[in-house]
Each structure stands twice: as structure tokens, then as C-alpha cells.
Amino acid sequence: MGPCRPLLVLATLAAVALPLASCEAAGRAKVAPHAPTAEERTRYPWLTATAKVRALEETFAPPEGYTRVPLEAGSFGAWLRGLPLRPEGTPVRDHQGGTVLAASDARLAAVGELDVGSANLQQCADSILRLHAEWRWASGHAERIAYRFTSGHLASWPRYAAGERARVSGAKVTWVPGSAADSSRAAFRNYLDLLFTYAGTLSLQAEGARPTREQLRPGDFFVLGGSPGHTVLVLDVASNAKGERVALVGQGFTPAQDFHVLAGKDGPWFSLEGDSVATPFWVPFPMTSLRRLPSP
């Protein structure tokens, strides 16, 4: 469970630098929500037939003069561009159903259509692990779903699906036979809850590769590991003719709550041109905190 308790001193919204005129042109589009198509339910397999969704890419146009960066088909970043969002006017709710952020909160751009579960587990780092694992599942690479606990031990979905279970004693983890083989979605969700229990910002920070500023792409994340620590996910990137770039950024948080797209004082696109990225719920993330989970 990633420790992501809010700091007493929040990064000010004024620290998010993007020209006002550009952000006015990058307002959220009025996209009518729809029932998920068969293709969307295949790409985002947690969706229910009764959900009402809108795609991230359709909801957020880049600022004036910017275009989305090209992405490889099937990549994590391309998958995130279609991420289903709840209808406009949806608040962020925690795992118990309580409102964490009102729909009118200026720091909130949109809420993801992604279940949280009933336990206080799916927090900031866990939300990134959840989305990355779901992408691998939907992309036909379930055999590659494996992430590390904070102890450094590998938690492998294929091992869990084969019936093995983690026995945790202090900082020691051993995998032992414990259940019948089960590769169902229900078993996968249980595996994720196990992962969320023993992974966090420290393990995510240690596990991720270190791309450079120039290599930054959708699907990368900024992380400051600790107790507390925090992490935010780069959902999309756009650039202009000068090569300047901006990003959509999303997060989970503590207590476990809906994954949501962030907004700064000028809108949902955050500048990537400084030495750090300032988001409204944490201290600025330096470019040196950029990380990337591996592709299949």
C-alpha cells in the first residue's frame, strides 16, 4: 500500500506554469458519455456494461498550437489515451464511498472509471501498478505481469494463478502452494490486492527505469518514494513547433480513492519545460524523479 498522505504544505497551484491563453483553448470538451463498446470492454476489461464513459483523448484537447506526440500502437501510452473517464460532474470518492474531492474542485479535471475495491489499498503507487497490469492483461501479455514488493521480492501473477501464495514474515517472502490454480479475473483482482498490500512508492521508485527528460512519454511517472511518498502518472503528452511539451497527469491518493486527472490553475495540461513538475497535492516532482515500468 503506497503511503501517500497529504503534506501539510501543498505545492501551490500558482507553481504550475502554462500560459493562460493556451489553457483556455485546451478546455475540457463536452463529450457525451456512452455505454462501453465491445472493443472498449476488451481493452479495459474491468468495465461493466452499465457504465457511462468518455475517452481521455476525446475529453482533453491539447492547448492551442500543440499536438499529441506520436505513440507506438499497442503501447502503454496509447492505451492510456483511451482510458475511460466517468461523466463530467463526478466527484472523487474513497473506498468507502465518501467524497474526497467535490466535482467542482479546481484541482480536479476528471475521474477515471476504475474500481477501487472496498479496502484501503489502491492508493497512489497502487493505481499505477493497477493500470500497468491491466494494460498487460488486455494486451495479451498476462504472463509478464510481475512487480516487486517493497522488500524487493517479486510478486508474479503467473505464480499466483498457478495456486502459489506469498508467505510474508517480516522482510522475508516465500511462495508456497496454497490454492487451486485459477487464472480468472476474480483471482487477478485478489492478486492485485496482495500487490497493493506490500508494494508502494519505494518499490515503484526502485523498480522503474530512469528515462531522461527528452525520453519522457505517456505511461512514465514521477515518484518521490517515502513514508509518506507520492507518485503521479503521465497520461498524455503534447508538443508545439518549438519542441515545448505539456502533459496530462493523473493520480490515486490516500485514502484509497478513484484515480483522477489533475488540473492546475490554468487547466489540465502541465508544463514539462522546467526542472520540476508542480502538481496541486504534493511538492514539485524533479525531473530526476521520472521513472518507467518495462514494456512487454
Residue 144 phi/psi, 5-degree rounding, is -95, 0
Q: What pLDDT sits at residue 30?
A: 82
What is the β-pairing status of strands 54-55 and 290-291? unpaired
Report the distance separating Cα 172 and Cα 150, nearest Å: 11
**The residue to which cell 503528452 is assigned:** 237
Residue 166 CB contacts under 8 Å (≥ 6 apart), including other chains: 153, 155, 173, 174, 175, 194, 198
Strand partners, 101: 92
Nearest CA to 289 out of 197, 222, 202, 235 is that of 222
Contacts of 147 (CB under 8 A, 6+ apart): 129, 132, 133, 154, 155, 195, 199, 203, 207, 293
Q: Is 85 helix (H, G, I), strand (E, B) or coil?
A: strand
* pLDDT in the model for residue 70: 98
Contact between 136 and 142 under an 8 Å Cβ cutoff? The reply is: yes
User: Which candidate, 1, 4, 253, 256, places its Cα nearest to that of 118?
Assistant: 256
Kindly state the cell numbers that stand for 137: 492483461
pLDDT of residue 171: 86
| CA neighbor of 262 nearest in space, from 111, 88, 63 | 111
Block mean pLDDT (10 aa), the chain, length 296? 47 35 51 96 97 98 98 98 98 98 98 97 98 98 97 97 95 94 98 97 97 97 96 98 98 98 95 96 98 91
Across 195-233, b (16+ Cβ under 10 Å) vs e yields bbbbbbbbbbbebbeeeeeeebbbbbbbbbbeebbbbbb
**Residue type present at position 10:** L
Please provide the distance, in angstroms rounded to a whole number, between the alpha carbons at the two ends of the chain. 24
- pLDDT, residue 233, reads 98
Q: Where are the alpha helices (DSSP H) in the chain?
A: 20-25, 38-43, 56-59, 76-81, 124-138, 157-161, 185-198, 201-207
Q: What is the pLDDT of residue 3?
A: 58
